[in-house]
Amino acid sequence: MNATEAGTAMRGRGGPGPGLPGAGGQGVPDHRAPAIRSALVIDDHPLYCDALASMMEAEFAIRRVRKATSLDAALQVLRGRFVPDLVVLDLNLPDVSGLSGFLKIKERAPDVPVIVISALRSDEVVGSVMAAGAAGFVTKDVERQTFCDAVQDVWDGKTYLPPGYRPVAQARGAGLGVAEVSRRIADLSHQQGRILRLICKGKPNKLIAHEMQLAEATVKAHITALLRRLGVQNRTQAALMVREASIWRELQ
């Protein structure tokens, strides 16, 4: 986008602020939400991350847009004095498992709305993310205007869902809500998260040990620990709990 287009976009979305003179030179009450002053964009693909940040700067005249290409880098930004008005988060970062990245961002910045972006688009995934507390869900194949509309909706206090989304009924007998299951999964260590993914794929301990290059006894110790954290008695219950909460798709 060239400088002329950027200027047009900023004028189109910025407009006169609350109480600022309008075209007639008199104060015009403006009941819209205040402008977005800062944002944090988190995506592990640098070009995509840069493009999102540049687009938000141009479309919404945001003065400060920080970028991070991993969950760890994003948490470091949030540990400092930077408190964004809005977070845009890629669901599938390399250093996260399932919804753990989203939950850790919300734990660090509980009052900041988070828009999740993802190449995944199934109703199960969207439902899981929204149930965990996301302000919006945008698929990565949307057009520029759709993304901007999503950001505006969220900033106006609404939620944004992808067109065609249909809530999926929770399986009967599912004892825990998706948010609680997600929190328990987020508490797992990186190794335990990897093992849980392999358990959900039906792999026995021996194959898990081979794939992860660990001793089988070490795998068993990790499984014992993750079962305790999830509050279940065996690996079958762990896999069922994850699937019932519709998170297993995100773990693959």
Taking only the tens place, the pLDDT of each residue in 117-128 is 998 888 878 888
State the virtual CA torsion across 4, 35, 69, 100 in degrees, nearest 10.
-150
pLDDT beyond 70 at 4: no
Residues 6+ apart with CB under 8 A from 205: 216, 219, 220, 223
Angle, nearest 10°, between helix axes 178-186 and 216-230? 140
Q: Which CATH number fits domain 3-25+34-155: 3.40.50.300, 3.40.50.720, 3.40.190.10, 3.40.50.2300?
A: 3.40.50.2300
The answer to whether 251 and 196 have CB atoms below 8 angstroms apart is yes
Which pLDDT score, from 0 to 100, does residue 144 have? 94
Do you know the residue count of the chain? 252
The pLDDT of residue 204 is: 85
> What CATH number belongs to 178-244?
1.10.10.10
Give percent above pLDDT 90 in the chain: 44
Least confident segment among 86-100, 105-119, 215-229: 86-100
Supply the mean pLDDT for the chain: 80
CATH 3.40.50.2300 intervals, the chain: 3-25+34-155
List pLDDT tens digits, range 23-65.
333 444 444 567 999 999 999 999 999 999 999 999 999 999 9
What per-residue confidence (pLDDT) applies to 178? 64
Q: What is the pLDDT of residue 33?
A: 61
In this structure, are residues 56 and 39 in contact, taking their beta carbons and an 8 Å threshold?
Answer: yes
Q: How far apart are CA 106 and CA 113, in angstroms?
A: 9
Q: Could you tell me the pLDDT band of residue 69, with boundaries at 50, 70 and 90?
A: very high
Confidence of residue 11 (pLDDT cuts 50, 70, 90): very low
DSSP secondary structure letters along 26-60: SB----SPPPP-EEEEE-SSHHHHHHHHHHHHHHH
Q: Which runs of consecutive H residues, i.e. helices, occur in the chain?
A: 3-14, 46-60, 71-79, 100-108, 123-131, 144-155, 178-186, 190-200, 205-212, 216-230, 235-244
Q: Tell me the C-alpha to C-alpha distance, in Å, between residue 83 and each of 105, 123, 227.
A: 12, 31, 36
* pLDDT of 78: 94
Q: What's the rounded mean pLDDT across residues 235-250?
A: 65
String of DSSP letters for 111-139: TS-EEEEES---HHHHHHHHHTT-SEEEE
Burial of 79 (0-12, 13-18, 19+ CB in 10 A): exposed
The more confident residue out of 18 and 92 is 92
Q: Which carries the bigger pLDDT value, residue 175 or residue 3? A: 175
State the span(s) of the chain assigned CATH 1.10.10.10. 178-244
Q: Tell me the pLDDT tens digit for each residue of 135-152.
A: 999 999 999 999 999 999
Cβ pair 48, 96 in contact under 8 A: no
Q: Which amino acid is at 106?
A: K
Nearest to 165 by CA among 214, 197, 130, 189: 130
